Structure 1
Amino acid sequence: MKVMITEEFCPSEEIQRMEGELWNLRVKEMDISYYITRFNKLVILCPGMVPTERKKVEAYIRGLLKNIKGEVTSSEPATLNKAVWMAHTLMEQKVKAIAEREADNNKRK
């Protein structure tokens, strides 16, 4: 149904643009919430790019930061939800560690 609606009402140039965006989507400036939201929207609009759960997981992991990507990949998540949960948890830990390090550096000054 989604494919039929997309094909009917969305010009092929726009579909190609969204597919390119999905392929190149990456976490920017530690903002994983935006990444998750945009990824989910593009997956709905470009179902042919990620026809299976495994392809969704692979595409999601591809856009993560390097150190988080490795940890999520090694856990071999079976579903997109598991990959998202793990990446979000790891990103929170990373942000917290950076904030603590900055606070420690400010105390030393």
Structure 2
Amino acid sequence: MQVSLPLPLYKKLTVTFRVEPGCLGPDGVEHIEGFCKFAKQQVATLHSDFVRWRIVPRYDKSLAETEYKTNNKRLDHLKAMQYLGVFGQELDEFEEHFQDELARLIDLYLGR
């Protein structure tokens, strides 16, 4: 399948990642909003040809930590794997890379 990059916004994979305030320490709830804005700016260029990032606080633990959508339709794990496969990406590696980047950004944000 031939794919022309960058994709229009509605065809991009929207990755919503919900960050728990506790990741920022005991007073994380005071910093989570600022951190999410900071992190979104930092990862905006990561796979930007086909991914749109949403990094938001995870106040509601009943919501999944990571959610995938395209064209406003939620993708299950299998569909997300297939979508990323078109771009030569494996979902597990994609998620692992993002988790590593997020840990780096937490350290950077907290000045460690």
Task: Please give the TM-score of this superposition, normalised by the length of structure 2.
Answer: 0.30
More strand by share: 2
More helix by share: 1
